Structure 1
Amino acid sequence: SVLFIFYVSQNDLGLDTTEKDLLLSLVHRPLELRYKYGNLSKGECKPGYTEAKMTSIYPKFSKPAPMFLDPNFKRLSKIISYPPPFGVRTQEKIIDHILQATKRYSLGSELDSISCKKCIIIGNGGILFNKSLGSQIDQYDVVVRLNEAPVAGFEKDVGSKTTMRITYPEGAIQKPERYEKSSLFVLSAFKPMDFKWLRLMVFNEKLRSMEGFWKSVARVVPREPEDIRILNPYFIQEAAFKFIGLPNNNGLMGRGNIPTLGTVAITMALHSCDEVAVAGFGYDMNTPHAPLHYYEKLIMSAIKESWTHNISKEKEFLRKLVKGGVIRDLTNGI
C-alpha cells in the first residue's frame, strides 16, 4: 500500500478556532487516505484525491464551484460583485443572451457521468518537444488545451485528444480549419469586450472592428453554440487573490494582478477533477536559446517582462502544488 503524507506549514498556525479545528481534522487524513487508496492498482483514479491534498495546504479550499456559467450564474455571490476579469458585474445581460443560445453548461453527459475524473492541462512550453508523451496524455478523461496551441503534426508529443480549449479573443485560433472537430470552445473573459466578441461568434455575426483588443482576434469560431462555454471567472479571482497573492487593486485589472491562463485552467481543474496533471509548464530563463513553445522556433529570450502577470509569484504557487502532491507535472518544468 501507499502512504500519503501531508505537510502543514508553520504559517498555518495562529489561525482562528474554526481553522484550528479544520487542521486538527486533517491530522487524521493521511491514515484515511492510506486505507482509501492503498489497494488501488497503479493508474486507477483516486476519488477526492485532489481536494484532500488541496485542503492539507489550503485549509479554506472549498471544492464546489461550477466549471462554466449557467443561467443561474447570478446566484454565485463570489463573482457578481467584481467586474471582469474577476467577475461578471456589468456583463449580466450579455451573458444571459449568450447562455440562452448555447443551452448547455457542462462537460457533456458522457464526462459528467464519470464518478472519478483524471484531468490534464497542456501548457504550450517548448519543454514538451520530443518528450513522446502523446499516448500518456490521451489516457486522461479530460484534456485541456490553451489558446491556439496546435495538435495536428505534434501528436507524438502532445496527444490527439482535446476535451476543451480555453482561450480569449486574442489567443483564439484564427484559421477555422485548424480547429478540432469535437472539442468545447471555452471563453476565459479578461475584459468586457471579450463577452461582446463571444456574442458575435455565437450568433455568427460579423466582427466589424478590432478596437478594444490588444492584437488581432479570430473573426469566426467554427463551433455550434452548444459547444461553446463561458469559464467561471471565480477561477481567475481565486488564483489571483487567494492562491498567488496578487494585489487586489479594488477588484480591477491592474499591473501584475492577472494570473496566466495556464494557472487559471489548473485552478479550474482543482475544483472539478479527482486527479490533476500538467505538461508543458515552466519557462527556464537560464537557457535563453531553448524553444519557448513546442510548435514554433521562438526562443526563451523572446519573453518580455509581463505587465499583467507576476511570473515569479505564480511559479511559487505552482511549485507548492507539485511539492505537495496536489498536481503531477509530467514534464518536470515547474
Structure 2
Amino acid sequence: MGVQDSLLPGLRHVMKQSAQLLLLVLMLWMLLFLAVFTYLTDSSSLFNSESQHSTYVQHSAQAIMASHNSRWGLYAERRGPFQRRQVFQPPRTREEFHFRNSDERPKKVTPNSNYSNDYFSNGWSLVRGLWKGQVSSKMLSQRLRRAMRDHVHSNKHKVLYKGQQKTTKSRQEMLCEMKQQAKLRTLDGSEQPFSHLGFQQLAPYKLQQMYTTCAVVTSAGAILNSSLGREIDSHDAVLRFNAAPCKGYERDVGSKTTIRIMNSQILANPKHKFNSSLLYKNITLVAWDPAPYNIDLHKWYQHPDYDLFTPYINHRNNFPEQPFYILHPSFIWKLWDIVQSNTLENIQPNPPSSGFIGIVVMMNFCEEVHVYEYIPSMRQTNLCHYHEMYYDAACTFGAYHPLLYEKLLVKRMSTASEKDLKKKGKVTLPGFSNIKCPL
C-alpha cells in the first residue's frame, strides 16, 4: 500500500497534463474547422452569385436569339450587282454591326467562358494602358491574340504595306500626317465602272460642311449611366454609327444626330429597315464597305462585302434631296496605312473600324472633335453596344478591326485631361483646319 500511495500523485499529475493537452488539441481542431467552414461558405456564395449573373446573361442572349430567329426566318441577301440572289440562314450568333468574322462573336456566355473572362483577366490592364498611351498585342487575352494572328495570316483583302513604321513621332507629327494623308474622299462617279453606270448623276455635291465643335458618339456599352446626353447635344454637330438609337437613351447619349456613318450591312440586311426607319431620315448619311487593298473598283462593285450599291441607288432616286455619300475605298485604306505606320507591330490587315473612320471624317469638318467612349472610361464593360444585350471584349479591343492600335493612335493625338478620359471616356482632337504644319 505504501508503494501505491507514493505513485498516485505522479499518476494524477500525468493524467492532468494529458487532459490539458487533449483540450488544447480539441480547441485547435475546432478553430481550424471554423476557418475552413467560413472559407467554403464565402466561396459558395461568390460562386452562386457569379453563376446567377452568368445564367442571366446566358438566358438573355438565348431569348434575344430566339426572338431574332423567329422574326427573321429566311432572308435573301444580294452579294453584288452581277450575282444571283442567294438565300442564307441567319447566323446562330450575333452578326449585327460586324463584317463577317466568326472570331468576334461568342456562341454563348458561360461562367467559364473565355469570352466572359476576357475583360476581367485582361480588360483593366488594357484600359489603364490606353489611358497612359502604352499598350501592345501582348496585353490582349489569348483568344483575341489568336484571332488577330488568324486575320494577319489569312489577309483577306490582300494587304501589302510598304511604308515606314515608327513609334517615336510627336503628337504634332502624327496630326500633320493625318491632315496631309487623310483628306476625305467620297465616290463621285468619275471612275469606272461607276461613270459608265451613271453614278455622277446620283452622287450629291461634295461633302464639305464646316462646324465649330463636334461630338462623335460611339455605341459602346460603357456610355450607359454616363449622363452625357446634354453635353453631347451641346455640340454643333453629332455623329452616330450604324443603327445606334437615341430614343430611350437620351440621358446618356443625347438626341441630336447630324451625320450617321453606316457599314454596308445596314443597307443590305432587311432587319435594319434602312428604307423606312426614322433613324436614317433628315440627316446626312455616309456608307462604307471594304474593297481590296489595291482599290480594284471593278472587283469591289461586283463583289462587295455586302451589297450597298443597289440600296444606295434606290435611296438616291427616292430621296434626291437627302445628302448620302459612299466613302471611297482609297480613303478607308489610307486610314489603315496611317495606323500601321504608327506601330512596329503588324496590325490586322482589315479595314479600320467605323469608329476610327467617323473620327477622321469629323476632323475634316470640325474645328474641334470630342469623342465619347472610344477610349474606355472607368465604366468600361464587356457589353458591346449600349442598345443590345451582347457581350464580347473584341468590340472594345479588336479582333477583326485593328481597334487597339486605332485607339492608341487617337490617345496619342488627344489633348483631353486625365479626368475627362477616366470619367467621361472623352478624347479631344483638333480639326484639320486648326492643325498648323510646316510647308
TM-score by length of 1: 0.58
Which position in structure 1 is the counterpart of 2:373?
A: 280
Unmatched 5+ stretches in structure 1: 1-8, 14-53, 75-89, 205-219, 248-253
**Structural mapping, 1:155-304, within 5 Å:** 155-172=250-267, 174-175=272-273, 176-191=276-291, 192=300, 193-194=303-304, 197-204=307-314, 224-227=319-322, 228-245=324-341, 255-282=348-375, 290-301=382-393
Specify the SS of the correspondent of 2:384: coil
Could you tell me how far apart the structure 1 residues matched to 2:318 and 2:351 are? 28
CA contact (8 A) 2:384 2:396 kept: no
User: Superposition pairs for residues 15-26 of structure 1, below 5 Å?
Assistant: none
Q: Which residue of 2 aligns with 1:62?
A: 179
* Greater radius of gyration (CA): 2
The one-character-per-residue Cα deviations of 1:134-161 (angstroms, maximum 9, x if unpaired) are 1211122221111111122211111111
Cα displacement string for residues 13-62 of structure 1 (whole angstroms, at most 9, x for unaligned residues): 9xxxxxxxxxxxxxxxxxxxxxxxxxxxxxxxxxxxxxxxx645444443
Matched residue type, 1:318: V
The percent of aligned pairs where both chains have the same amino acid is: 23
- Measured after TM superposition, the shift of residue 187 of structure 1 is 1.1
* CA distance 1:64–1:129, change in 2 (3 Å): same
Pick which of 304-313 and 263-272 moved more. Answer: 304-313
2:288 maps to a residue whose letter is: S
**Structure 2 CA distance for aligned equivalents of residues 72 and 93 of structure 1:** 5
Distance in 2, matches of 1:157 and 1:222, equals 36
How much does 1:316 deviate? Answer: 1.6
Secondary structure at 2:260's aligned position in 1? strand
| 5+ residue gaps, structure 2 | 1-165, 292-299, 428-439
RMSD, matched Cα: 4.0
Tell me the distance in 1 between the aligned counterparts of 2:396 and 2:408: 20
Please state how far the C-alpha of 1:299 moved relative to its aligned partner.
2.5
Report whether the alignment pairs 1:103 with 2:204. yes
Counterpart of 1:104, as a letter, is Y
Contact 1:134/1:159, CA 8 A, preserved across alignment: yes
Rounded Cα–Cα distance in structure 2 between residues aligned with 1:321 and 1:315: 10
Mean Cα deviation higher: 299-308 or 122-131: 299-308
Does the 8 Å CA contact 2:374/2:426 hold for their aligned counterparts? yes
State the TM-score, normalizing by the size of structure 2: 0.46
State the secondary structure of the residue aligned to 1:197: coil
Contact 1:125 1:282 in 2 (8 A): no
Aligned residues: 240
Could you say what secondary structure the match of 2:325 adopts? strand
Partners in 2 of 1:57 and 1:302 — Cα distance?
Answer: 26
Q: Which amino acid aligns with 2:282?
A: S
Q: Which residue, 408, 424, 429 being the options, matches 1:331? A: 424
- CA offset at residue 125 of structure 1? 0.3
Question: CA 1:223–1:141 in structure 2 vs 1: closer, same or farther (change >3 Å)?
Answer: farther
1:104–1:226: 8 Å Cα contact kept in structure 2? no
What is the Cα deviation at residue 164 of structure 1?
1.2
Once residues 100 and 121 of structure 1 are traced to their aligned partners in structure 2, the CA distance between those partners, rounded to angstroms, is 31
Change (3 A) 1:185 1:295: same
- Distance in 2 between residues matched to 1:159 and 1:122, nearest whole Å: 9
1:315-330 map, 5 Å: 315-322=407-414
Distance apart, 1:324 and its partner CA: 7.6
Which of 388, 391, 402 is the matching residue for 1:310?
A: 402
What is the SS of the residue equivalent to 1:11?
Answer: coil
Residue of structure 2 in register with 1:137 after alignment? 232
